[in-house]
Structure 1
Amino acid sequence: MYKFSKQALNISICLSMIFSVFLNSQEVEEVVVTATKQEKSVQDVPVSIEAFTAEDIDKNLIEDFSDLAEVVPGLIVDKAISTGASYSMRGVGSYGVGAAVVASLVTSFNGHSVYASALTDVGFHDLERIEVLKGPQGTLSGRNAVQGLVNLVTARPTGELEGKAELTMGNFNSERLNMVLNVPINERVGMRLATATFKRDGVIDNIHTGNDIDDRDNVAGRLSIDFDISEKTQMELTYDYQKGDDKRQNIGINYCQIDPLFGCSPFTKGVIGQPSHPNGSTSGFFNFAAALNADPTANSYEGVTILNSMDRVNLNRDPDFLQTHEVSQVQINHEINDEYALIVKGTYVVRSYNHLADNDYTVGVQPFPGLFPAGHPASSIPMQWEGCWGGFHNNFCEVTTADRTYEFAYDESETKQGEITLISSLDGPLNFQVGYYYYDNTQRNIYQVQTAAWNLIRDGGAHPYNLPLFGGALTGSGSTDFHIPWALSGFSAAALPALLTGYTTPIPVQGYFNDDHIRIKSKAILGEMYYDISDQTQLTVGIRYSDDVVKDSIFSCLTYTSCNNLSMASRLTSQYVFSPTQVIEADDSTSYKLAVKHDIDDNRMVYASYTTAVKAGGNNPNAQGLPDPYDQEETGVFEIGAKGIFLDGAMLLNAAYFQNKTDGMLISSIVNAGSRNVNTDAEINGLEGNMVLFLSETTSIDVTLLMAESEITNLSLINPVNINNATSRALLPPALGGGLVQRLGAGGVLTVGNTDAGLIYKFAGFMCLVPFNPFAPGGCPNPGIPVDVSGNKLPQSPELSYSIGLNQDFIGENGTTTARLTYRFMDEREGTVYNQPHLKMPEHKFFDATVTYRPNNGNWYVKLEAKNLANDRYIGSWYLASGLQGGNKFATVTEPRTWGLAFGTSF
């Protein structure tokens, strides 16, 4: 890494020498940011920061967070399970999973935190600037930014009567319309109204429904009002509304190589659209328990259509997505006198989200056979029923004849933030800013997975056998409390009267569900002091004291098999009764910053800093509803950097080397029916830089780059889908049949299979190294062998990422045509902490281009734009299911090639 730093310096010197003879008076424009709550040039701020003006946003085709991630090397943004999102910056990410997990990377709107997961689904419009700050920012940022901060700065009223509009139409019948109107109400009040709509047909064909899915239907609006209360006091009001209502995918595809023990082989990636073998998931056992199949090892998905395509899927139902996101904000800027200024800000954010998705990623074609062999009089009973799904939202009923699985996610969130900051502007060498910040988040997050068997088990009255075989005796009884004992009795008619429960399962609880009520409160005192050691050298000392409380009231069950919190009295009501486990994690912490900046001259500076940050702990969701807290995450980052403008203003060159050491970093995996976050230690070292170089008045290039090395320094854990760390399957010994799997025990519901590391036992998707019953007290006595992943790379941490842009103006007699071609590269990266070769994500390479014509005497322009010119598709992120879903490998996918023709005008 140090060697690369030396090489980079040599390269910059060579560039200076080579291009100096060609350069003329064209100069780099410095970007002014408010990252320090004061307007300063990026070149004067001793922080690694990338800032994009409105012009930069336009020329880089940044319409949303995924576009921003392409432009900023090392920034990775993707959808995650349920209502979440995953972020990574400079080789380190927010790896924790769970609604109560505090984000490591903060996304903010005019300086106040907004839901990171929400921003993955909303677009950008009418922004003055995007600021991307790397490393801890807690001594200035209200919400504690442990690994970095992305701040969206909205455009303010200009005080002039003016407006602009842009209409873009492109492939997939896309239509994007952005409009802005500035209205001066009077000399003291100005208003700005901005609207944006985006519609696009689906880019994925669902061959079962005949519809295109993964479409977009977004609408957004923003009202901004600036009011000069007096010469010294200004008030800024902002209201922002965004809504999406369409059939977009959450996590788009699955990979699987079918295996009768694991469900999906943990040793290979497999093919797209292959469902897991039911015997390796919950489906096999529960199909048996529901009397849908006499053989719990049967493959109910045999014969399904496997497309192995990123552009075509085979789903029972199209996905359904609905989200609204609102931000209301007021900021008062008051100049107390020439030496002190006061900023008071309050923000209110609400989010409503729900989605429905097909969770098995296929359409079953094998009708359920029932319990009776062909020729038996009862074999003619059609195994179908009308079942109702959902329970909280996206409710529907349908006739079910074959296997299927749906997932439902729901989120209602409300956040209140308040902040007051005092900023000095003294004549002497000492200045400071100090503030108080308050954060209060209330959230309800629900995630459900429901299968055909679970749907039928909930109410015996719907069972196809109820009337013809039992004369309606099953009516009014249901749940696994009834069906599992009945199945294990061999579906004994004699035992039936004693097993009937007299209650059914509420629709929301007819599978796996996690109902999480979260309250997060944070109070902080924060600030920085600036001391001018000399005219060229400044010392910065920052401090933050935080008091965080995370209250997690969680009710999580896998049907009634693990629903200990739900009392018998509640079950007898056959109604949903919220019965939570409550965990309160209270933490306080102090973090600090020490930085030195030295101005070499008016155009060049160097700096060094050491910054710490602490992220609050929390609680893991699990199907047992047991308290399972995790600890705080503590980060320390050393950074040394240089910023400069060279060649008479024609070249901007910034670079920084950083060392990040994090103790207690959260690493998550899906273990059985819950998310398990564990604390580990990690180190990340890297070098980053950006350059803008004018070769002439009409030609320029821009380059941004990140090189990073990451290492997990202390972690051992059980791989939940490969519990004995095997590398391949093996045949069973002759005593166990010599095949791939063998049924054991009463009803044959326990399955054993062999690997090169020994035997594995599986029951209803649960795995163990010895024979077991997951529904008996104690469950599995030997859940697996921990593997030491110390020395492995962090997931989503590419060693090399860069972006190169070439800009050329063609000046004609009547106007100017500006062309831009961009190449963006991201190195291969690990998909999991286990660093499995088959889950390594490949290199990403994208070409984007724009061509814009502006007349000399006109207020309009036309623009041709295209993204992903080569139409390359890549896996964005892996999300590995637990054994209960057969170890399926879910993946997000990058967008296909898109292009459009835009017309814009202003007045």
Structure 2
Amino acid sequence: MRHLYPGTLYLALAATLPASLLPTAYAAEDQLSLEEIVVTAQKREQSLQDVPIAIQALGADILEQNSVTSISDIGNLTPGLSICNSIQDGAEIAIRGIGTAVLGLGFDQSVPLYLDGVYLGRGFDLIGDLMDIQQIEVLKGPQGTLFGRNAAAGAVNVTTQSPQEDFAGSIRAGIGEKNLRKLQGTLNIPINEQLALRANAAVRQRDGWQKNLDGGDPLYEQDHQSGRVKLLWSINDDTSVEFTTDYSKFDDTQGGYLLTQASSGIPTQDLDDKSAPSTTRLSDGSVVDPAVERTANGYAAKVLWDINEDLTLTAISSYRTFELDMFVGTGALTPDVLDLSPGPVFPFDNLSVLVDQIEMETDEYSQEFRLNGVTNNWDWFVGINFFKSEAEQIETFALPGIAVLTGPPLLGTYGDDRQGSKIDTESFGIFGDVIWHITDRLNASFGLRYSYDEKEVTYFRVPQRLNLLFATVPDDFANGITQDKADWDDVSGRIVLDYQLTEETMVFAGITMGYKSGGFGTTTGPTTAAAGGAFDPFDKETTTSFETGLKAKLLDNRMHLNASVFYTHFEDYQLQIADLTQPATALDLSAPEATSHGVDIEISFAMTERITLGLISGYLETEYAKDVEDNNGVVAIPEGQDLLRAPRWTTTATFDYTLPIDIGQIRFNATYTYRTSQRLTNSTTESLTSATITATGGDPGFSFSENDLESGSYGLLNARLSFMTADERWEIAAWGTNLTDKAYRDDDSLAVSNALLGAIGGFIGTPNSAFAVAPYTRNEPRMWGIDVTYNF
């Protein structure tokens, strides 16, 4: 792999002047200037330009101008941040190529998400359609001493609006592409001098944009309901309590997999195709409802107590629940041309080999106490937090082909195999951070954290009719419950120096350590239990990151320039890779070493009072620094292979123009994002081709290339044109996302061969019944809409 070192990277990027999503330009005392952005990344209110951390802040205006409604949408606005929006797997977040693209309950995210200071373990892609958001902060690099747990690669911090002292509200209605209908309302009520209430609710419905080739409902339908209520109780001048409850229910339909390559005789599709087979077809030709129902509830209380002028105590308590109910099938992998029937007795046309109903429930409790203080030249805080979760997942499989061997019950029923896994987690951390103002220009920041995590796994399996096919299933899995427990601890810290070269320019350099707890692999499938040792614990993941950078205000504060160079080293990096010899089974592995290094540069420029420009660009190189071996000592991932979701180049350009007129204001905003290709799977072309030939018993009719394992490069254009009345009460806006209708691979399902189907086919005398395909989901196509907003 080609490497560029920090000095070379600076020279390579200097001419491009990449930059950031823009803060608002304004004129103060006849001086055009950029508005200051305040962030709380270091648990203190600070100007973005004063924080010695690589951080990007997305305010409410940026989110509105880009029609952002989900966590996955912000990935295309933030270079270095990649988020998969697969409904099947939920959001997968990676920063600088480091993330957690795995299945099962036993893994935690390398990039955690926090909602108003509360750590979200599950269901973080359900945050009320991101309504009434004050700001989203994306922190790059390990953040263990600043945030609760597992922030080994970075953190996403979402802050919602708090109740205000003035009566206000808004109503927004919108229509758009694919029969989009949405209604959103916010109401802020100052009840008395001590109490203020803020409530909002939203409904969003949209028809599916992907035609279901198997009949039934279109795919990617949306039916979202969400709401949030905040009550602020100002007990006195020194103490306040904010109570929050939120609710989200998303009833969507899954997306179908496109077959871009397949064995001879199986029809293929282009990524531009907006139709796909349903993933849930049964053997009798009926289609299971491809619905995905997700529900999240949250309750939180935040106490702020100013003990005196120098000390503030913060306490955050929360309880959250998340539920998921969905079907996952392989209808997309079994087109109509496939026929395993040995005769008219078994009508196997339209066979779905595996249909899996997944039911998941999680309960999460968290408590954090933090004491902030200012003493002479010291700005510090210390804190403790506790997190407890109970996560349970039950999968019920239907394997229609088993009836060939076992007879009744009839095809299309469930219960051929039922498996469940449960993970109980308890986590404790004590942490502290201090800024030492050594001189008026020089600061030193020190952070230290001790983390302890304990997990207990419980697993059960009832194979029922599968006993005949998988006779090696141990009795303890078939008839009983097995349990295991493990714990991990770690000490991590950070040291950062920042120096004010001038009143407008600051440079910084630091070393930061990160940690993510170990866990248990709990991925299930028809042969999981037979794998043996599938539930052995895997070790913790640790990180060491070196970063240096600068933050500058130029041209009398009309331009902001932020730049950083980083190098991150991971040990025991946690990952999964498909076990191509066993259908529906994943191998849980640890990479001995992985690295990520590159450059981020941001610029915002107030060209005139009407025009503001922004450009962000990032260069990234990642790799597995040593061979990754599977449980049998076979190299599964070779040294030098790229990590997942790590595009080499990312660039986002923003243009904002405001035109005052007699009756109000016209505004136009456009954002263009470009990303080079990124790897979507840890599998190699060699392993995939070999497994495919083995499963099909011969030449499958195609071979795999690196392009089949990557997203492909792409550019996305979003735009919004709005008119607001002079009194700022009414606004009408027309918006569009992905205006060029660019299609790219967003996720893959690399079950490229079906060994189970091959085994069944061979058993009934049709040895070439197995097939091979390369299935992908694609991104959302062009969408447009019109919104009308009334503010009061």
Report the more deviating stretch, 431-440 or 667-676: 667-676
Tell me which residue corresponds to 2:750.
Answer: 880
User: Are 2:168 and 1:162 equivalent residues in the alignment?
Assistant: yes
Cα distance, 1:784–1:342 mapped onto 2, change above 3 Å: closer
Q: What are the within-5 Å matches in structure 2 for residues 480-879 of structure 1? A: 509-511=415-417, 513-555=418-460, 559-560=466-467, 561-562=469-470, 567=475, 579-621=480-522, 622-624=528-530, 626=533, 627-671=535-579, 672=582, 673-680=584-591, 681-717=593-629, 786=635, 789-834=638-683, 836=685, 837=706, 838-879=708-749
* Contact 1:164 1:179 survives alignment (8 Å): yes
Tell me which residue corresponds to 1:383.
Answer: 346
Cα distance, 1:83–1:313 mapped onto 2, change above 3 Å: closer
Q: Could you report, residue by residue, the CA deviation over 1:28-48 in whole angstroms, capped at 9, with x for unpaired residues? A: 112111222221111111111
CA distance in 1, matches of 2:639, 2:195: 59
Q: Could you report, residue by residue, the CA deviation over 1:692-728 in whole angstroms, capped at 9, with x for unpaired residues? A: 101111011111111101111112446x9xxxxxxxx
* Superposition deviation, residue 531 in structure 1: 1.0
Tell me which residue corresponds to 2:100.
Answer: 94
Tell me which residue corresponds to 2:186.
Answer: 180
CA distance in 2, matches of 1:835, 1:404: 25
CA distance in 1, matches of 2:408, 2:277: 34
Cα distance, 1:187–1:651 mapped onto 2, change above 3 Å: same
Q: Could you report, residue by residue, the CA deviation over 1:786-808 in whole angstroms, capped at 9, with x for unpaired residues? A: 35610121121110001001111
Tell me which residue corresponds to 2:371.
Answer: 422
Q: Percent identity over the alignment? A: 23
Tell me which residue corresponds to 2:308.
Answer: 337
Cα distance, 1:14–1:834 mapped onto 2, change above 3 Å: closer
Cα distance, 1:507–1:425 mapped onto 2, change above 3 Å: farther
Q: What secondary structure, in the 3-state scheme, does the structure 2 residue paired with 1:27 have?
A: strand
Q: What secondary structure, in the 3-state scheme, does the structure 2 residue paired with 1:880 have?
A: coil
CA distance in 1, matches of 2:276, 2:49: 48
Cα distance, 1:699–1:520 mapped onto 2, change above 3 Å: same
Task: State the AA in 1 paired with 2:10.
Answer: S
Tell me which residue corresponds to 2:399.
Answer: 451
Unmatched tracts of structure 2, length 5 or more:
21-26, 282-286, 523-527, 686-705, 757-770
* Contact 1:107 1:113 survives alignment (8 Å): yes
Cα distance, 1:12–1:623 mapped onto 2, change above 3 Å: same
Tell me which residue corresponds to 1:905.
Answer: 790
* Contact 2:85 2:746 survives alignment (8 Å): no
Q: Could you report, residue by residue, the CA deviation over 1:625-669 in whole angstroms, capped at 9, with x for unpaired residues? A: 534322111111111111111111111111111101001111211
* Contact 2:126 2:296 survives alignment (8 Å): no
* Superposition deviation, residue 84 in structure 1: 4.5
User: Are 2:192 and 1:209 equivalent residues in the alignment?
Assistant: no
Cα distance, 1:101–1:463 mapped onto 2, change above 3 Å: closer
* Contact 2:18 2:601 survives alignment (8 Å): no
Cα distance, 1:403–1:851 mapped onto 2, change above 3 Å: closer
Cα distance, 1:253–1:369 mapped onto 2, change above 3 Å: closer
Q: What secondary structure, in the 3-state scheme, does the structure 1 residue paired with 2:79 have?
A: coil
Tell me which residue corresponds to 2:151.
Answer: 145
Give the aligned length: 723
Cα distance, 1:367–1:124 mapped onto 2, change above 3 Å: closer
* Contact 1:253 1:310 survives alignment (8 Å): no
Cα distance, 1:366–1:451 mapped onto 2, change above 3 Å: farther
Q: What secondary structure, in the 3-state scheme, does the structure 1 residue paired with 2:735 have?
A: strand
Task: State the AA in 2 paired with 1:332.
Answer: V
CA distance in 2, matches of 1:664, 1:369: 44
Tell me which residue corresponds to 1:574.
Answer: none
Q: Could you report, residue by residue, the CA deviation over 1:62-102 in whole angstroms, capped at 9, with x for unpaired residues? A: 11122101101122212569655422111222134321101
CA distance in 1, matches of 2:482, 2:88: 20
> TM-score under structure 1 normalisation?
0.75
CA distance in 1, matches of 2:353, 2:473: 28
* Contact 2:516 2:541 survives alignment (8 Å): yes
CA distance in 1, matches of 2:410, 2:679: 46
* Contact 2:19 2:604 survives alignment (8 Å): no
Q: What secondary structure, in the 3-state scheme, does the structure 2 residue paired with 1:895 have?
A: coil
Cα distance, 1:535–1:76 mapped onto 2, change above 3 Å: same
* Contact 1:689 1:706 survives alignment (8 Å): yes
CA distance in 2, matches of 1:47, 1:802: 20
Cα distance, 1:870–1:452 mapped onto 2, change above 3 Å: same
Larger Rg, first or second structure (1 or 2)? 1
CA distance in 1, matches of 2:578, 2:17: 46
Tell me which residue corresponds to 2:760.
Answer: none
Cα distance, 1:674–1:585 mapped onto 2, change above 3 Å: farther
Tell me which residue corresponds to 2:331.
Answer: 360
CA distance in 1, matches of 2:261, 2:461: 27
User: Are 2:127 and 1:257 equivalent residues in the alignment?
Assistant: no
Task: State the AA in 1 paired with 2:749.
Answer: Y
User: Are 2:31 and 1:25 equivalent residues in the alignment?
Assistant: yes
Task: State the AA in 2 paired with 1:553.
Answer: T
* Superposition deviation, residue 447 in structure 1: 3.6
* Contact 1:645 1:653 survives alignment (8 Å): yes
Tell me which residue corresponds to 1:433.
Answer: 381
Tell me which residue corresponds to 1:328.
Answer: 299
CA distance in 2, matches of 1:587, 1:696: 55
CA distance in 2, matches of 1:598, 1:425: 20
Q: Could you report, residue by residue, the CA deviation over 1:725-760 in whole angstroms, capped at 9, with x for unpaired residues? A: xxxxxxxxxxxxxxxxxxxxxxxxxxxxxxxxxxxx
Q: What secondary structure, in the 3-state scheme, does the structure 1 residue paired with 2:331 have?
A: coil
Quote the RMSD (CA, aligned, Å): 3.1
* Contact 2:655 2:670 survives alignment (8 Å): yes
Task: State the AA in 2 paired with 1:532.
Answer: H
Cα distance, 1:339–1:878 mapped onto 2, change above 3 Å: same
CA distance in 1, matches of 2:173, 2:340: 56
* Contact 1:112 1:143 survives alignment (8 Å): no
CA distance in 1, matches of 2:368, 2:575: 32
Cα distance, 1:556–1:72 mapped onto 2, change above 3 Å: farther
CA distance in 2, matches of 1:818, 1:89: 32
Unmatched tracts of structure 1, length 5 or more:
16-21, 265-269, 274-306, 373-378, 386-399, 465-505, 572-576, 721-782
Q: Could you report, residue by residue, the CA deviation over 1:568-612 in whole angstroms, capped at 9, with x for unpaired residues? A: 9x97xxxxx6x3332212111100111111122333211111111
Task: State the AA in 1 paired with 2:786.
Answer: L
CA distance in 2, matches of 1:796, 1:875: 12
Q: What are the within-5 Å matches in structure 2 for residues 237-256 of structure 1? A: 237-249=243-255, 252-256=257-261
* Contact 2:77 2:673 survives alignment (8 Å): yes
* Superposition deviation, residue 311 in structure 1: 2.8
User: Are 2:8 and 1:3 equivalent residues in the alignment?
Assistant: yes
